[in-house]
Amino acid sequence: MRFYINVDHVATVRQARRTDEPDPVRAAVQAELGGVDGITVHLREDRRHIQDRDVDLLLRTARTPINLELAAASEILDLAVEWRPLQVTLVPEKREEVTTEGGLALDEVRARDTTAEAVGRLADAGIRTSLFIDPDEEAVRVSADLGVDAVELHTGEYANAGRTERAEQLERIASAARLARKAGLAVHAGHGLTYENVAPVAAIAELEELSIGHSIVSRAVFTGMERAVREMARILRRARAHP
């Protein structure tokens, strides 16, 4: 399973002062030394954290692939086609949200059309496409119909669930993962995963890729990025070896 780190949260600290530190590009270098397989960044329309300069520099300097998250109906799509990262994950974006709150609303005709158009443009540019969706049967089916390469299953509800609801949310993710795999899609997952809750998700055999950000960056404040990444990588390896 590939382990991607989301370094948006490093940029959030930098933007709190609109200065040049801490630098998410330097964080990516440290994360690579710790053993990540790739770097995830979300370039938002409001440029709240990651800036164009960060993506540009990461694409030119990272040793591992970049997974660029963006909203389909934004001018960022033009930038992505120009930049050609290995992979783009399409995500919903609302101006007021603190973080991405859920998967794409593929049950809405407008969202589906915008997504379809974006997927076509990205695929024509040779970019691997992934859709961030809720772990539901219908969302998986629509994604397969749209001809994407992968889906990223939203793990936020699992992460926020109380003890009693957690098993149910985990099974929801596992069942969506099985369905997506059967439909020929690569299966990714992410959002809200921590050192404490990641193991059962990482143990889902169909999962190929995980994107984890906030929990690692939070630990890195105390331990340094390289060590924080190594600790997460160890948990992921153990979960895969002894599911």
Counting contacts by CB under 6 A, is residue 150 touching ligand PXP?
no
Nearer to ligand PXP, 225 or 242 (CB): 225
Asked if 158 and 197 count as a contact pair (C-beta separation under 8 A), the reply is yes
- Give the whole-angstrom CA distance, residue 50 versus residue 131: 20
Asked if 143 and 133 count as a contact pair (C-beta separation under 8 A), the reply is yes
Counting contacts by CB under 6 A, is residue 38 touching ligand PXP?
no
- 157, 191, 206, 209: the active-site residue: 191
Tell how far CA 106 is from the center of its chain: 18
Task: Give the shortest CB-29-to-ligand PXP separation in angstroms.
Answer: 19
**Burial letters for 62-93: b for 16+ Cβ neighbours within 10 Å, e otherwise?**
bebbbbbbbbbbbebbeebbebebebbbbbbb
- Give the whole-angstrom CA distance, residue 101 versus residue 86: 25
Nearer to ligand PXP, 87 or 215 (CB): 215
Task: Give the shortest CB-192-to-ligand PXP separation in angstroms.
Answer: 5
Task: Give the shortest CB-138-to-ligand PXP separation in angstroms.
Answer: 19
Counting contacts by CB under 6 A, is residue 152 touching ligand PXP?
yes
Task: Give the shortest CB-3-to-ligand PXP separation in angstroms.
Answer: 12
**Burial letters for 189-228: b for 16+ Cβ neighbours within 10 Å, e otherwise?**
bbbbbebebbbbbbbbebbebbbbbbbbbebbeeeebbeb
Counting contacts by CB under 6 A, is residue 134 touching ligand PXP?
no
Catalytic residue at 188? no
Task: Give the shortest CB-8-to-ligand PXP separation in angstroms.
Answer: 5
Per-position x/- string for 43-82, each x denoting binding to ligand PXP as judged by CB under 6 A, each - no binding? --------------------------x-------------
Per CB under 6 A, the segment of 26-34, 77-85, 189-197, 228-236 that binds ligand PXP is 189-197
* Interacting residue with ligand PXP among 22, 92, 135, 213 (CB under 6 A): 213
Size of interface with ligand PXP, in residues (CB under 6 A): 19
Asked if 180 and 187 count as a contact pair (C-beta separation under 8 A), the reply is yes
| CA atoms within 13 A of residue 36's CA, in its CB half-sphere | 30
Q: What dihedral do alpha carbons 14, 132, 91, 29 form, nearest 10°? A: 30
- 42, 49, 154, 188: the active-site residue: 42
* Interacting residue with ligand PXP among 39, 87, 93, 132 (CB under 6 A): 132
Asked if 11 and 24 count as a contact pair (C-beta separation under 8 A), the reply is yes
Catalytic residue at 191? yes
- Give the whole-angstrom CA distance, residue 153 versus residue 174: 10
Asked if 106 and 136 count as a contact pair (C-beta separation under 8 A), the reply is no
| Residues annotated as catalytic (active site), given as ranges | 42, 69, 191
Binding site for ligand PXP (CB under 6 A): 6, 8, 42, 69, 89, 91, 99-100, 132, 152, 190-193, 211-215
